[in-house]
Copies of this chain bind each other. A is one copy, B any other.
Amino acid sequence: MSLQEKTEWIAVDWGLTNLRVWVLGAGGNLLAERSADQGMEKLTREGFEPTLLAMIEDFLSDAKTTPVLCSGMVGTAGGWAEAPFQAVPCAPQSAEAFVSAKTNDPRIRVTIVPGLSQTSPAPDLMRGEETQIAGFLQSNPKFDGVLVMPGTHSKWVHISAEEVVSFQTFLTGELYALLARQSILRNAVAIGGWDDSAFENGVSEAISRPESVAAKLFSLQAEAQLSSGSPEAARARLSGLLIGMELAATRPYWLGQNLTILAAPDIGRIYARALSLQGLQAPVLDAAPLVREGLLAAYEALTATKD
């Protein structure tokens, strides 16, 4: 069989800055994997289809229509087609809520997975993480507890009975990047390096006195100028203070809860360390494969709906 004949469908994780494509055969067999820095923020609505076609051209056949299933920022109002948020509590992905995107090329049929929204206890949104959650639940359908998803915008997600009950987003990763790279602290904070005790002290101080974090940020700069601290320790301490703030705010999410961290391994270990200081054991699962697993689940749900 030719590659075109083998191709059953195509999974796409289309985020703000990046685009990843998996070409799948029968039974979810992976035929090819590609990525590009053509994220949603670089594209106008008309740019999505040609960008995608350029990446998957070799797998398309004039003889059939290949389903393409996308998740992520591609479904925002400024994306390829707006996929309206589903309000929690709900399953992370529901085929009835998937949205079709208009295409010009008859060889593809594009479907977009929507994100999730919450109005109470606090307004919140996710787009992309719901697919990772669905991927996690494929292998852990009985999970009842809280998923910790650190990142640029870290999310704490309460899961029960295969549904997202509630969630809360933190700017921790973005705040770290702004402070470490663009604020007055940028000369005080190293790009790499680490210091466990500086991190742990930062976490503990922020949890016990969260209001003091605002004061302690400038101290990093003062310590650097007064030569009383290393840039590597400052980096670990800044990370500790911000993650400690997040833990102070998420206490109801972790106190007495069953926790699992879904993250890139390095950041996952840092969050696990911070939680262990509170006496909590949280396993770390690599989040990278979960998007594809979530899109596989979405495709199964989509084809089941059509049967």
Contact = CB atoms under 8 A, between A and B. Distances in A.
B184 A219 contact: no
A153 B218 contact: yes
A196 interface: no
B172 A183 contact: no
Q: Give the dominant DSSP class at A's interface.
A: helix
Nearest to A182: B178
Nearest to A115: B225
Interface string A141-167: 000000000000100000000000000
A215 B125 contact: no
A248 interface: yes
Contact of A125 (B182, B211, B217, B221): B221
A171 B183 contact: yes
B211 A249 contact: yes
Interface string A192-233: 000000000000000000111111111101110110100000
A16 to B, nearest CB: 9
A128 to B, nearest CB: 13
What is the size category of the interface that chain A forms with chain B? 35 or more
B172 A222 contact: no
A124 interface: yes
A250 B214 CA distance: 10
30 contacts: A118-B222, A119-B226, A119-B228, A122-B215, A122-B219, A123-B222, A123-B226, A123-B228, A153-B184, A153-B218, A169-B218, A170-B214, A170-B217, A170-B218, A171-B184, A171-B185, A171-B217, A172-B214, A174-B183, A174-B184, A175-B179, A210-B210, A210-B211, A210-B214, A211-B248, A213-B245, A213-B249, A214-B242, A214-B245, A214-B246
